[in-house]
Amino acid sequence: MPPELLRMIIAAVLVVAFVFLNAMILGYMERKVSAHIQRRPGLMEVGPHGVLQLIIDGLKLIGKQLVVPEGSNRFLFRLAPLLSFAPCVLPFVVIPFSKKLQIVSMDISLIFILAMTSINVIAILVAGWASNNKYSLFGTFRSVAQAVSYEIPMLLSLLSIILMTSTFSLQGIIAAQKYYWFILVQPLAFIIYFVSGLAETNRAPFDIPEAESELTAGFHTEYSGMGFSFFFLAEYANMFTVCSIATVLFLGGWKGIPLPLGDFTGIVWFLLKVYGLLFVMIWARWTYPRVRFDQLMSFCWKYLIPFALANLLITAVVVKLI
């Protein structure tokens, strides 16, 4: 077996394992953080402070029956969770966890990640359509409109960084932040990116496609067992991806106070920053009410996109002048 192939297999296993692990950590974190925000202890039963709860939950979900609703398109209904899960794993291949901890180093890794994350919307479309449920369909419509709209300010805000660094390579962007983090020179772009990221991952206050109090659970209303958990995994993987892009582009990636074996242990700083951002996401979710759909759209088109464009123009002029 050629060593390159072996490396890829190991990497693939690691990536999938990390996606599951991430979902467990985030699931635990979300429930614990939300519990403390709401002044209750949260998970306490399984293991010390409930740390093993998510394993039990996982087993439970695996053991559940996969209910396919009557009148639904069976093939598409089963396909949708996989369609949602698979593209969410792929960005992990190019995320630079540390200077040397990157499975594939691509010159266009940023574009690759953005392309992969936007496939998710197709999975939601398929899931909502195949469910044969009006609430799911509502969720789908909302989700597609939302994801398509918010991709624009997201890309525009990232382009400002690209203009500054002239590279799509994530390692290159990190290297460009040698003296300062880009959040210091591009705070507006960071805010726009982070807000769009919340919307892209269907997180509150933009969780309109899932809106429990309106649509029960939106596009995954009809899913049970592993069908549901794939969406769940995909959501958390997506959140991780969005936050790692933010970390790489604005927060200096794996850079931090040097540690021994800095080429590998940069992962500590990287994960700290990513989970810090994820904490903010969770914090926002459990604090704010949900915005309405038309407000969400007008916020995107009337505020985010113009500001992102202005920011891009100013960046372009400044970069040209320097």
Tell the smallest beta-carbon distance from residue 202 to other proteins (Å): 12
Tell the smallest beta-carbon distance from residue 271 to other proteins (Å): 27
Site string for other proteins, 223-252 (x = CB under 8 A): ------------------------------
Q: Does 216 bind other proteins (CB under 8 A)?
A: yes
Q: Does 71 bind other proteins (CB under 8 A)?
A: no
Q: Does 286 bind other proteins (CB under 8 A)?
A: yes
Q: Does 34 bind other proteins (CB under 8 A)?
A: yes
End-to-end CA distance of the chain: 51
Site string for other proteins, 126-165 (x = CB under 8 A): --------xx--x--x------------------------
- Specify the residue, 212 or 263, whose C-beta has the smaller distance to other proteins: 212
Which region among 24-32, 42-50, 116-124, 201-209 touches other proteins (by CB under 8 A)? 201-209
Position among 29, 37, 79, 103 found at the interface with other proteins (CB under 8 A): 37
- Specify the residue, 57 or 207, whose C-beta has the smaller distance to other proteins: 207
* Footprint on this chain of other proteins (rule: CB under 8 A): 34, 37-40, 134-135, 138, 141, 204-205, 207, 211-214, 216, 285-295
